Amino acid sequence: MRAIDADALIDSMNGEFTDHIEESRAITIVNDAPTIEAVSEWIPCSERLPEERQDVYVTVFWDGYGDTITAYGMRTQFGWLLWNTAEGELIKGYTVTAWMPLPKPYGERKGE
């Protein structure tokens, strides 16, 4: 399967049809076609925070190393619990700057 830009496809069809009904039907088919979920975007913590106890990826400024990393964690009523995904260790001394929801887990497609 490959994703397409439906808006660009509709724009490119302009003038390709012999009549308005044909054009309208093609646009309806494109608009009604199944879509895939967009890749999540990073959400700055200054805009909003995730639900409590929601597993998320975070962008963290890690004071201990003076570096920005991506980690896995959740927000609790007491603050953030974060794990360094590369080393599997609990992170201390950090500032969470942005977060994004985890993708849906892998699952076999039906019919394969």
Per residue in 72-84, pLDDT (tens digit) is 888 888 888 877 6
Give the residue ranges of DSSP H helices in the chain. 6-12, 20-32
pLDDT tens, position by position, 1-36: 566 677 777 777 776 777 777 777 777 877 777 776
Question: Rounded to whole angstroms, how far apart are CA atoms 91 and 12?
Answer: 50
The ranges assigned to domains in the chain are: 1-36, 43-101
Q: What is the pTM of this model?
A: 0.55
